[in-house]
Amino acid sequence: MSEFRDFLELSYSELEDLNLQAKEQRKKRVPADVIQEERLKYLTDERRIKAVTVLFSDLEGRLHMLDYDKKFLVKSYDNLTFDGSSIRGFTAQRESDLRLGIDWSAFYWAPADVFGPGKVLVFGEVIDKNGGTYSADIRGVLKKFAEEQFAENGYTLNAANEIEGFLFEGLDAERNFHQTGKFEYVNQGGYYHSLPGDPLREFIDTTAEVQRAMGFENEKDHPEVAPSQFEINYTYGDVVTAADQIQLYKLICRQIATQMGMTVSFLPKPVTGVNGSGMHTNVSITKNGKNLFWDPKGEEKISKLAWQFTDRILTHGNDLCLLLNASVNSYRRLDPHFEAPNQIKASATDRGSMVRIPIGNEKSARVEVRSVGPDANPYMVLYSIFRSGLQGDTAKIKNLRQAERYLPDNIYTALENFRGSDWTTKLLGADVKARYADLKQASADRCPRLLGTIVKAPEVQFHHDVYNQLLWNQF
């Protein structure tokens, strides 16, 4: 930082205080107009901020970022337009203009050494031509659903996600996979094991520090079962905050790895023969501060509501599979040889079950959906789980919770189930459902039909997290 550039740089403890205050406002549902006024005043008064990074996600869950000059944003925040036809899964070229609204409650102060000095982050909302929530902006759809549940039933939807990933040698390891054909581990240690100065430990420590500064309220972090695999856990939050934090978690991990000259991968199964990465999704519902999933006298100490919720998820297991396992590669993970959660049943103990009922208490009683891949659109995951659990159907299958039923072992079956399901049409609307299916079909059609025993270059190259236009055009 030179004497001429006096851009905002805050200590990690100052950042944590500011981010926790903002999170508390969100938790307490402080009215949007009050928060908006406060944020605009802050941006106007804080001369050391030069730009505001607005984040939004496309239909497949890729995070997009636009930097707006701060002074411009303060004047024009209610009329920000962008070209939707450039975003996969958004509008067609003939109707390309979309507007971005600002969700002022989802405001983050970020470390200057990671995001650059003089910047703050805020999540955007995509608005259609009529001023409503744009149907392919699943964050907006999820937020609207959560607000309706609170208004109609007093429900607060809560989630916590355990997101696993791999750290590999070299920059752009995924983008270069079609040339190298392999990933290089940075660490061979495995579960819980890595020395203090080890690159994997250094990566985990640095990422955890950034998350803490951004108000994640960390719980625990450790190397995972496979070599070079990690998991960094943080506390649960309301459903939209939880999904936003998944996007930030991935962004932080990728940025820290890049700064270390490495690559973080959220491919569900980048290396065959070792455990893949999951995103176990823990959900519960509270009302007036009381956990509605807890019942000390209930089966497995969860309530009737929690069991009904579970039964609906099991009923729609095959319908939702493409939303929870969104890539060709994710079907490698649903392999029974590696504790894979590919059985459509619920259990307190069997880790091969799609839904697990963890040991809980009044505060922590929850339902855990284990089949989710870490590369799925987090807004889509939480929207489809909560809406299915609350409003879905319950199948008249004998012994539904323990029936012999399995999730698909390939994307083509998952696509067929998704396209043929009435429930997914209700969930997303016919138009967005068709767009999503077409995107997944396009990726699948570029890959060998059979997975086989080795990871193929196209399943990495044409993965929605990995490809850019340059790679996509090299088909």
Output the domain CATH number for residue 118: 3.10.20.70
Q: What is the pLDDT of residues 216-231, one digit of tens each?
A: 998 887 777 788 999 9
Residue 465 counted as domain residue: no
Q: Are residues 315 and 359 part of one domain? A: yes
Task: Tell me the per-residue pLDDT of 417-431, one tens digit each, with 9 for 90 and over.
Answer: 999 999 999 999 999
**What pTM was estimated for this model as a whole?**
0.96
Same domain? For 161 and 92 the reply is no
- What confidence score (pLDDT) does residue 90 get? 82
Q: Are the beta carbons of 242 and 435 closer than 8 angstroms?
A: no
Same structural domain, 173 and 321:
yes
Reading the block at residue 77, the tokens are: 């925040």
Tell me: pLDDT of 84 over 80: no
For the ranges 102-111, 187-196, 268-277, 319-328, which has the lowest average pLDDT? 187-196
Q: Which residues constitute the domain of residue 252? A: 155-443
Q: Same domain for 276 and 309?
A: yes
Question: pLDDT-based confidence at 1, cuts 50/70/90?
Answer: low
Spatial separation of the C-alpha atoms in residues 128 and 97, rounded to whole Å = 9
Q: How high does pLDDT run on average in the chain?
A: 93
pLDDT computed for residue 255 by the predictor: 97
Is the Cα torsion angle 150, 153, 156, 160 positive or negative in sign? negative
pLDDT of 338: 65
User: 7 in a domain, yes or no?
Assistant: no
How many domains does one find in the chain? 2
The closest of 246, 244, 264, 268 to 254, measured between CA atoms, is 264
Length of the chain counted residue by residue: 475
Q: How far apart are CA 216 and CA 432, in angstroms?
A: 31
Residues in contact with 68: Cβ distance below 8 Å, sequence separation at least 6, in sequence order: 51, 52, 53, 54, 80
Mean pLDDT of 268-280: 93
Alpha carbon distance 24, 27 (integer Å):
5
pLDDT category at 474 given cuts 50, 70, 90 is confident
Residue ranges of E strands in 142-255? 155-169, 218-223, 229-234, 237-238
Mean pLDDT of 445-470: 94
Give 191's pLDDT tier (boundaries 50, 70, 90). Answer: low
Structural domain includes residue 149: no
382-414 pLDDT, tens digit per residue, is: 999 999 999 999 999 889 999 999 999 999 999
| Cα–Cα distance measured from residue 208 to residue 211, given in angstroms and rounded to the nearest whole number | 5
Is residue 192 scored above 70 in pLDDT? no
Average pLDDT of the segment spanning 197-204:
89
Looking at residue 193, its pLDDT comes to 63
Please tell me whether residues 287 and 324 are part of one structural domain. yes
Residue 349: predicted pLDDT: 87
pLDDT at 2 over 70: no
Q: Are 60 and 178 in a shared domain?
A: no
Residue 79 reports pLDDT greater than 80: yes
194 has a pLDDT exceeding 70: no
53 lies in the same domain as 87: yes
**Does residue 473 fall inside a structural domain?**
no
| pLDDT bracket for residue 340 (50, 70, 90) | confident
The 3-state DSSP class for residue 337 equals: helix
